[in-house]
Amino acid sequence: MASIKLQEIAHRYPSSDDYALRTLKQTWGDGGAYALLGPSGCGKTTLLNIISGLVRPSEGRVLFDGVDVTDLSTEQRNIAQVFQFPVVYDTMTVAENLAFPLRNRKLAKQEIDLRVADALAMLGLQHRANDRARSLSADDKQKISLGRGLVRTDVEAILFDEPLTVIDPHLKWQLRTELKKIHQRFQHTMIYVTHDQTEALTFADQVIVMYQGAVVQIGTPQQLFESPEHTFVGRFIGSPGMNVLPCNIEGADAVFAGNRIPLQRVISDTGQRYELGVRPEHIQLSASAGIPLNVTSVEDVGRHKIVRGRVEDTLINTIVNDGVGIPENPRIVFDTDKINLYADDYRVGND
Ligand code: ATP
């Protein structure tokens, strides 16, 4: 396994005037489980393909354990990659498909048999071991693709590009859990591309959030939830995402829709665009105190209710736990110690 260093990487496809990936300087540790998370078109696949060698960056260098691999092919980089759609040999059996990358590496038959048996058990495909791959469902074919990425233990990194897209929803959870276990067992460097926050947050120790070709935050799921570094991260993570409220700064207070909210610190106002970030989980509804909320809908999603409304023109979502009443004319009260302040979309630190 290798640490991966991206040295001033940037990429512009020849057919485009815009950068698909803006300058990036990152080092990802040996043995880490990383997720690249972001909306469609933000550059996740481009970055993954630069790491695997399928795309050569128009600027910058890629280093594995300090060795420059920018001009090496995927094979030379010794990377396993699992794509969105199954890549299997239809005429081979399931077991032969799994054994194929190991035979190519000329492993001993006994070792191959052991690893294939291990992979079959992990994927729940023991009973299909001797069936031709062509007879399998799309789900099971994708499981083979995953298995082929995972049977090799000598790879520098395993890269996954939205690998669970074709997988049936109830199986996704099971396979994600398996991937996590495999990571804990073998400590491969794993990079997992997805636009699904649940997939990213359950798989990865570190989530790399991308937006418009740039990395906007790298953090643990908890850091992304509690301290989003950019309003985009706050909005993108969570369900519903963070509320973003325009405000002015007056000394140690933020003023939102004519209401003073203590920030417990003085901000020197330099005339930037300020916003408060408040998670729906960190807003209480009150019958007497707080800012009046003009409720537009109440959704019961089972374990809690989502109350949506407006304060002037600003949309505000709150989460009300089961068993907690919703006042007739609710007012909102913020947990002030959980509020983040943003200047021009970037979080203002506490120091
Ligand atoms: P998705 O989740 O939809 O796959 P993504 O985050 O993986 O999106 P990329 O596929 O890396 O994003 O695309 C980033 C940008 O680069 C997009 O604007 C896309 O249109 C553009 N792009 C991707 N591949 C090419 C290509 N081969 N030629 C030209 N532009 C491309």
Question: Amino acid letter at 285?
Answer: L
Same domain assignment for residues 120 and 143: yes
Same domain assignment for residues 321 and 175: no
What per-residue confidence (pLDDT) applies to 187?
A: 86
Same domain assignment for residues 260 and 165: no
Give the distance (Å) from ligand 1 centre to CA of residue 42. Answer: 7
Which residue lies with its CA nearest to atom 15 of ligand 1?
Answer: 20
What per-residue confidence (pLDDT) applies to 350?
A: 66
Contact 206, 219 (CB under 8 A): yes
Domain that residue 9 falls in: 4-231
Q: Which tens digits make up the pLDDT trace of 231-275?
A: 999 999 999 999 999 999 988 899 999 999 998 777 776 668 999
The residue whose CB lies within 8 Å of the most ligand 1 atoms, and thus the one to mutate among 24, 42, 160, is 42
Residue with tokens 């759609």: 85
How many residues belong to the chain?
A: 351
Same domain assignment for residues 97 and 124: yes
- Domain annotation covers residue 272: no
Query: Does the CB atom of residue 20 touch ligand 1 within 6 A?
Result: yes
Query: Does the CB atom of residue 263 touch ligand 1 within 6 A?
Result: no
What per-residue confidence (pLDDT) applies to 271?
A: 67
Give the distance (Å) from ligand 1 centre to CA of residue 89. Answer: 27
The residue whose CB lies within 8 Å of the most ligand 1 atoms, and thus the one to mutate among 19, 24, 46, is 46
Give the distance (Å) from ligand 1 centre to CA of residue 56. Answer: 14
What per-residue confidence (pLDDT) applies to 64?
A: 95
CA distance 54 to 175: 26
What per-residue confidence (pLDDT) applies to 214?
A: 95
What per-residue confidence (pLDDT) applies to 266?
A: 74
Query: Does the CB atom of residue 49 touch ligand 1 within 6 A?
Result: no
Same domain assignment for residues 203 and 258: no
What per-residue confidence (pLDDT) applies to 44?
A: 95
Nearest ligand 1 atom to alpha carbon 162: 2
Same domain assignment for residues 191 and 250: no
Closest C-alpha among 158, 193, 166 to residue 43: 193
Q: Which tens digits make up the pLDDT trace of 64-100?
A: 999 999 999 998 999 999 998 888 999 999 999 999 9
What per-residue confidence (pLDDT) applies to 155?
A: 87
Q: Which residues contact 120 (CB under 8 A, 6 or more apart)?
A: 94, 95, 98, 126, 129, 147
Closest C-alpha among 245, 325, 323, 304 to residue 279: 245
Closest C-alpha among 80, 319, 39, 53 to residue 200: 39
- Annotate 280-296 with b (16+ C-beta within 10 A) or e (fewer): bbbbebeeeebbebebe
CA distance 112 to 115: 5
Which residue lies with its CA nearest to atom 21 of ligand 1?
Answer: 20
Q: Taking each helix axis from N to C terminus, what angle separates 109-123 and 169-186, rounded to the nearest 10 degrees?
A: 140
Same domain assignment for residues 32 and 144: yes
What per-residue confidence (pLDDT) applies to 267?
A: 76
* CATH number assigned to the domain comprising residue 204: 3.40.50.300
- Domain annotation covers residue 236: no
What per-residue confidence (pLDDT) applies to 277?
A: 97
CA dihedral sign of residues 210, 220, 301, 291: negative
Contact 134, 109 (CB under 8 A): no
Query: Does the CB atom of residue 13 touch ligand 1 within 6 A?
Result: yes
Edge to edge, what strands does the sheet with 283-286 contain? 283-286, 331-334, 291-292
Same domain assignment for residues 136 and 202: yes
Closest C-alpha among 47, 102, 36, 62 to residue 236: 36
Cα maximum dimension of the chain: 75
What per-residue confidence (pLDDT) applies to 272?
A: 86
Same domain assignment for residues 77 and 141: yes
DSSP strand pairing (33-37 vs 206-211): parallel
Query: Does the CB atom of residue 42 touch ligand 1 within 6 A?
Result: yes
Which residue lies with its CA nearest to atom 25 of ligand 1?
Answer: 13
Closest C-alpha among 199, 135, 151 to residue 171: 199
Query: Does the CB atom of residue 195 touch ligand 1 within 6 A?
Result: yes
Overall pTM surpassing 0.75 (yes/no): yes
Distance from chain centroid for Cα 196: 7
What per-residue confidence (pLDDT) applies to 351?
A: 55
Query: Does the CB atom of residue 37 touch ligand 1 within 6 A?
Result: no
- Low pLDDT (below 70) residues in the chain: 269-271, 350-351
CA distance 60 to 7: 6
Same domain assignment for residues 318 and 182: no
